[in-house]
Amino acid sequence: MLSTAFSAAVRNKELLYTITCLAGVFSASAFLPEAQAASPTKHYKSAKTAATAGSSSAASHTAHTPAKAYAKGTEEIRVTRSRQALNGGGGMMRVETAPHAVQTVSKQFISMRSPTSTALDLVKNVPSLSISTPDTSGMQGGMIQVRGLTDLDMALMIDGAPAAAAKYMSENLDSENLEMITVTPGSSATALPAMSAAGGVLEERTHTAAKKFGGMVDFSYGTNNLSREFIRLESGEIGNSGVRSYFSFSNSHSRSWMGAGINQRRHIDFGLQKDWDNGSNAKFFLSWNNANFTIDNYPTEQEFFRYKKTGEGWGRSAQSSSDNYWKNSRDHWNQIFLTAPVHIVLPAKFSFDLQPYFSFGQGWDAAPGGYDSAGQNLTSFFLQNSTKQVGAVSKLNYEIDRHNHITGGYWYENDYTDQSYPSGLTNANGTPPSPWGLYKTTSPYGQNAGYEIHGLFLEETAKYLQDRLTIHGGFKFVMVNSWTSDPYNRYSKNTTEPLPQLSIGYKINEHNQIYINAEGDYRQPSAVDMGWMPTSPNFLKNQYSIKEELGYRYHDKYIIADVAFFNYNVTNRIVNQYIGMNSFLPFSIGNQTMRGFDVSISGRPIHGFSPFASVEYLHATQDSNVMDPYTSTMIHSKGSQAVLSPHVVANFGLTYTYKGFFANGTVHYTGPQSVSVAGDQHIPGYVTDTLSLGYHFQPFMFAKSPTFRLNFTNLTGSIVRTGAMGVVYRGSDANTHPVWSGNSAPGTGYGNSFMVEPRFSMTGTVSTSF
């Protein structure tokens, strides 16, 4: 009895000691942002070191892990930090450790914005980017300018798989299922399946299915008759299988902010995940998107100034008798996107990764087609019978030792588009006829184009000096067969591109890091772009870029700071000219050089306030003279400011939280820029702004997180051009498409067309998880 009682007392004493230690750890974590628990063993790793060790992907994993404390008897206590500790500026910046520039927007910031936000809306304040978006309803995407390049030079990814172009960013994912957006403006991973990454990578990370049954729901209503409903259901772990999933559906409705037009979007996301105890995992993501929206009239400079001075807009007409009737200018599109990455841990320090991906789209754009001989309205179509992208990346990884990790792999991709341009009489009620019927009853006229990619790559990452020194080297060799054809001719071309990469990062101490990065990237016209090119054996040469970066990072318990210097040399620069109906024609403007720097700084919460600021300086020059085919004259552009390259981009943001209340405000500035190769057409600098206000209520019945928020854009009602639709040779060149405005007859416009900041908007949202 005495021995039993004595043993119980000892066990209780040990239990009491353990609980006391845990309480001390949590108390310290609550009151000290950089709390550290003392450990009597040499295996102790501080919270800060654990969070910043390794690559940026490691930090990303930590960012999704809630704070936990682990105790092993009385020998060791280890603390991991919450994702909030990695964030600054209210989620507008994050502690990064990769040996290249990384700019991240986290869930903390995403959850304050309107659910109608696309990925482009959410990265408008990232230091390296200047974003243009045509609407506030989330029906469309927009355009990106990045260090003198555009989104056409970027790899836009979802969970590591190629996604839709920036103009259609809303097709692949709802913002409620978006966990994080990471921008690497000057770098792309060697193994990334990207044929165009000179401008870096924008990657969206999808929602991870919850381990418990539940879900969330929200409803939004706002300016321009916006209404949006969203629901997500979580299965939780299914039995004891370790498999969990979610399914979501959203429905959006709005009217055009300029002129007449009704827009509709329906979207489904489905996710599935399975984790194994040995570290293997599999993830599956599938989305379906159905969109019917009015194709915007993008104004010329003349139309823009007329609206600014007189209020006469450039929108579509509300009258069915008009050739510019909004129902006769519609985009109808169905899109399926799928990716299924698998990671398998193998014996003997090997592992294997396989990522297949697939997307398929079908639909059409309708546009006014003038009149027939009897004066009846005509409709012209850009009909995409099929647009398909299928590919896979396979990687074999080997841990040589605790310092060296090597990967070899193969990338395959096949892209194909079948597009045609039928036209026919507009229906009596002003709606377009069936493009499928016109295509079947008239002689075939159209093109199909595409390419097939084979890529081989090898990379190694080495870590030394207690993981303070990271060296990454990689090489990818890409072989491409491209083709374009019409019913009578077919032309093809084979090209190869060597893509080397070297990155070195060194952590001076737990607060300071320096890095250098150098790599080569290329770009070729997309399959759709090649479909618009005249069928001839003269394909555009691939664009090739050599890029260098030098960076410095600092972080402590008060601030996060990042400085990156960059230099780009681009040969055979490819730009796009807008030709109407949401379509573009690529052309080459020779060589360019871009130099500059990014500076970002953010504060961790101080009395609830978290500031953020960034600035980019860019000096970009055109290094070649360019022939203007419309006037058959040489443009002496060598030495001039490169197109779409503002000298200054700046941002400021401030987040405030107090108990359940939260607020975020942002201001963005983009400096003046040239929009023509000749340098005779510019847009001035402009300012945009946003404001978010909200409150998290206490749980009530089934509602675990009832929240109300208001989101505002363009608070001052500014009328500004935020970007050009593409590039033109001269501001005096005639447009390749007619200019429309309301019920007015079509006219000829000159120079570029532009995206304009939508008018003031307000969106209110109620949401909760359950």
pLDDT range class, residue 138, cuts 50, 70, 90? confident
Give the three-state DSSP class for 528.
helix
Task: Say which residues have a Cβ less than 8 Å from residue 72's Cβ, sequence separation at least 6.
Answer: none
Per DSSP, the residues of 251-294 read EEEEE-SSBS-EEEEEEEEEEEEEE-TTS-EEEEEEEEEEEEEE
Q: Are 197 and 150 in contact (CB under 8 A)?
A: no
Task: Say which residues have a Cβ less than 8 Å from residue 189's Cβ, sequence separation at least 6.
Answer: 201, 474
532 has pLDDT over 80: no
Rounded CA gap, 301 and 281, in Å?
53
- For 582-632, the pLDDT digits (tens) are 788 889 999 999 999 999 999 999 999 999 999 999 999 999 999 999 899
Give the three-state DSSP class for 375.
coil
Instruction: Identify the weakest region by mean pLDDT among 43-57, 177-191, 461-475, 588-602.
Output: 43-57
pLDDT at residue 584 in the model: 86
266 has pLDDT over 50: yes
Write down the pTM of the prediction.
0.87
If you average pLDDT over residues 673-686, what whole number do you get?
97
Q: For residue 35, give the DSSP letter.
A: -
Task: Give the number of other Cβ atoms within 10 Å of residue 536's Cβ.
Answer: 9
Give backbone dihedrals phi and psi of 504, rounded to 5 degrees, phi first: -135, 125
- For 698-748, the pLDDT digits (tens) are 999 999 999 999 999 999 999 999 999 999 999 999 998 889 888 888 899
If you average pLDDT over residues 2-12, what whole number do you get?
39
pLDDT at residue 429 in the model: 94
pLDDT at residue 64 in the model: 38
Nearest to 132 by CA among 110, 150, 108, 106: 150
**Over the range 615-648, which residues count as b (16 or more CB within 10 Å of their CB) and which as e?**
bbbbebbbbbebebeeeeeebebeebbbbbbbbe
119's enclosing H/E stretch is helix 119-122
pLDDT at residue 724 in the model: 96
pLDDT at residue 538 in the model: 63
More confident residue, 273 or 484: 273
417 has pLDDT over 60: yes
Q: Are 100 and 183 in contact (CB under 8 A)?
A: no
Nearest to 453 by CA among 483, 486, 408: 483
Give the three-state DSSP class for 25.
helix
pLDDT range class, residue 195, cuts 50, 70, 90? confident
**For strand 243-255 and strand 262-275, is the pairing parallel, antiparallel, or unpaired?**
antiparallel
If you average pLDDT over residues 529-552, what whole number do you get?
80
pLDDT at residue 53 in the model: 34
If you average pLDDT over residues 438-445, what whole number do you get?
64
Nearest to 548 by CA among 591, 517, 504: 517
Mean pLDDT, the chain, integer:
87
pLDDT at residue 84 in the model: 55
pLDDT at residue 733 in the model: 93
If you average pLDDT over residues 293-315, what whole number do you get?
94
Nearest to 725 by CA among 713, 714, 736: 736
Q: For residues 274, 275, 280 and 286, what is the CA-based torsion angle, rounded to 10 degrees?
A: 30
**Over the range 301-331, which residues count as b (16 or more CB within 10 Å of their CB) and which as e?**
bebbebbeeeeebbbbbeebebbbbbbbbbb
Q: Are 279 and 397 in contact (CB under 8 A)?
A: no
Rounded CA gap, 369 and 377, in Å?
7
Percent of the chain with pLDDT over 90: 75
Q: Are 291 and 333 in contact (CB under 8 A)?
A: yes
Rounded CA gap, 65 and 51, in Å?
10
Give backbone dihedrals phi and psi of 4, rounded to 5 degrees, phi first: -65, -45
Give backbone dihedrals phi and psi of 402, rounded to 5 degrees, phi first: -70, -10
- For 222-238, the pLDDT digits (tens) are 999 999 999 999 999 99
Residue type, 96: E
Question: What is the C-alpha R_g of the chain?
Answer: 27
Q: What is the distance, to the nearest Å, from the Cα of residue 534 to the centroid of all Cα atoms in its chain?
A: 31
Largest CA distance in the chain: 111
- Helix H segments across 477-539? 527-532
